[in-house]
Amino acid sequence: MQIFRLNWNQADFDVDVFKEAYKKEKGVMVWRHFSDKHIEKETRCILWFGTKGRRKKTKPLEGIAGIGEIIENNTLCRPPYLSELVACKKKPHFVKVHLLAVTDEALVSQNKIKSLFERKLYWISGVGKSEFVNIKYASDAKKLYDMASAEYKKRFSR
C-alpha cells in the first residue's frame, strides 16, 4: 500500500489560515498537488509540515502534522481558503481529503523520524512536493502513518 504525502509548506499556506479552514470545514480539506498519477479514493495520506519558511513558533509542528484519507480525486470544489495559497506556475490538481490534523506539535516529529530510520528526511518529505511516497519506502511510510494514527488517538481520546 502506497501512502500519499500532502506537503504543507507554511510559506504558501499560513498556519493560522489552515487552522481556521480546518475548523470550519470539520477536517475535510481540499489540497493542491502536482502529481500526474491517479489517486484512488480511500488512499491513506500523511500531512507533512516542512521547514521551508521556518518560524520559531511552528518548529514543534515540523514532521507529520496529520493523517487522512482521500475522499475525492480531481475535485472541482474550490473553497475560499485556496485563494490564500501562493500562486504557482504549474497547473495544480486538487484532492478532497478527510484529515485528522494538529497545529501545535507534530504527531511524529522530524527528529524522531531521523532517529528511527537513520537516514535523511527526503524519502518522507518529498523535497516539498505532494506526491506518493516512493514505493521503496512504502513499508516505512505505513509505519509512520500507524505511529501518527496512534499518537492522534492518544492525544484526542481523552
Residue 17: Cβ-neighbour burial (10 angstroms; 0-12, 13-18, 19+) = middle
- Give the Å distances, CA to CA, from 74 to 38, 54, 70, 78, 109: 9, 30, 11, 11, 30
CA distance 46 to 110: 13
Beta bridge partners of 49: 8, 63
Mean per-residue pLDDT over the chain, rounded: 88
| Confidence grade of residue 158 (pLDDT, cut at 50, 70, 90) | low
CA distance 103 to 83: 20
Counting residues of the chain whose pLDDT is more than 90, the rounded percentage is: 51
Who wins on pLDDT, 12 or 154?
154
- pLDDT for 152: 96
- pLDDT for 93: 87
Residue that has been written with the C-alpha cell 512536493 in this structure: 129
110-134 per-position pLDDT tens digit: 989 989 987 777 788 877 788 999 9
The full length of the chain comes to: 158
CA distance 106 to 151: 10
Collapsed DSSP state (helix, strand, coil) of residue 80:
helix
